[in-house]
Amino acid sequence: MVTSPTEDGWGQLVGWTTPLPSVDASATPATPLPATPVPPRSGLIPRAELAALNQLRDGPAWIRLASHLLTIAAGGLAWGHQGWPLPLRLAGLVVCGLGLATSFAGLHECSHRTAFRTRALNDGAAWLLGLLSFYNATAYRRYHQWHHRYTHQPGLDPELDDPVPTTTAAYLLEISGWHWWSGKLASFARLLWGDLSAVPYLNAEVISAVRRSAWLQVGVYLALAAASLVGGNGFLFWFWLLPLAVGQPFLRFVLLAEHSGCSFSTDGTTNTRTTLTLWPVRWLMWNMPFHAEHHLVASIPFHALPAAHRHLAPHLRHIDPGYLAVHRQLLANLPALALPANGPQPA
């Protein structure tokens, strides 16, 4: 069974089936959804333990958010300290860049509205983290709901609209962040001025809110650019654009592992990968490396995903020992990452 939409737009686990997160009622298009079956995932986590895992708590999110922002600030201060040795300043640049790029992970968790207990805190934190990582949170939440509904299904999952690296040159471009930067510029241009009526995860009721959010975000960037010019310090470039460009390859490296090389089916145990990695990576990525667990039960908040892994690991096809191992596998057969010609595959 598929759970019915909840008020905040994300399905909760009802009965004993793994839910497919529902799309906001306000974001549901007028045209019917494609008839893609969702196989049940019954009894993967005992009822009482699932209820405990689903408990929302503000504390872990505040700690993670505060420490993430402090990482960005500390790295930026080290990078900007003219009197320090260049190697130390460059280390600060890398730390600042990693913090900025991986702010996307916090945006992702808050977009699910499971990081904090209240919608207001989740949405506010998501917007701030989107500002830092160059994502529009209002548009991303609808986009990401669609990704969960049609995970890794060609023609349905919007993440598969991005170029798939099937050659070494394409792989290097993807890891460099080139496709991401060009895609982000095109995406913001479309949000600001483009025709959004054909975007499947948006409808007339939400398009105006998405545009307002995008204009507000671009307005903040323009204000910072103007202040940088007036102050003659290039702040926006030296402390945002450059660090974000430095940190972006790390984020691309991590995100490419989430579904690449997995099945193009509706089966959540085979279409998503969990990567066992070092705790600093798990911390920067808000536990997103437990990605299959997250997709199977999206109602579980980020801080409970390690516990969920203990229950779900026996059911997962793709559990890999680190990102280097994943990328070695991908590089060994890049053409296999190409989308199937006949669309979604059977579960």
Distance CA 343, CA 123 (A): 34
Does pTM top 0.85 for this prediction? yes
Tokens of 119: 């919608």
By the 8 A CB rule, do 243 and 96 touch? yes
Distance CA 9, CA 311 (A): 26
Distance CA 211, CA 214 (A): 5
CA nearest neighbour of 201 among 284, 140, 249:
140
Query: What is the torsional sign of CA 250, 72, 221, 208?
Result: positive
Structural domain includes residue 218: yes
Residue 22 CB neighbours (<10 A): 21
Phi, psi for residue 345 in degrees, rounded to 5: -100, 160
pLDDT for position 285:
98
pLDDT for position 24:
47
pLDDT for position 161:
93
Low-confidence ranges of the chain (pLDDT < 50): 1-33, 35, 37-40, 42
Distance CA 52, CA 32 (A): 35
Structural domain includes residue 325: no
pLDDT for position 344:
60
Distance CA 79, CA 85 (A): 10
Report how many domains make up the chain. 1
pLDDT for position 17:
30
Model confidence over 268-278: pLDDT tens digits? 999 999 999 99
Structural domain includes residue 122: yes
Give how far Cα 162 sits from Cα of 77, 159, 206, Å. 35, 6, 23
Model confidence over 246-270: pLDDT tens digits? 999 999 999 999 999 999 999 999 9
- Structural domain span for residue 227: 54-254
pLDDT for position 341:
79
Structural domain includes residue 118: yes
Structural domain includes residue 230: yes
Structural domain includes residue 108: yes
The DSSP code sequence of 82-119 is TTS-HHHHHHHHHHHHHHHHTHHHHHHHHHTT-SSSSH
pLDDT for position 36:
53
pLDDT for position 23:
40
Distance CA 148, CA 161 (A): 15
| Residue 246, Cβ density class (10 Å: 0-12 exposed, 13-18 middle, ≥19 buried) | buried
Structural domain includes residue 215: yes
Structural domain includes residue 15: no
Distance CA 319, CA 326 (A): 9
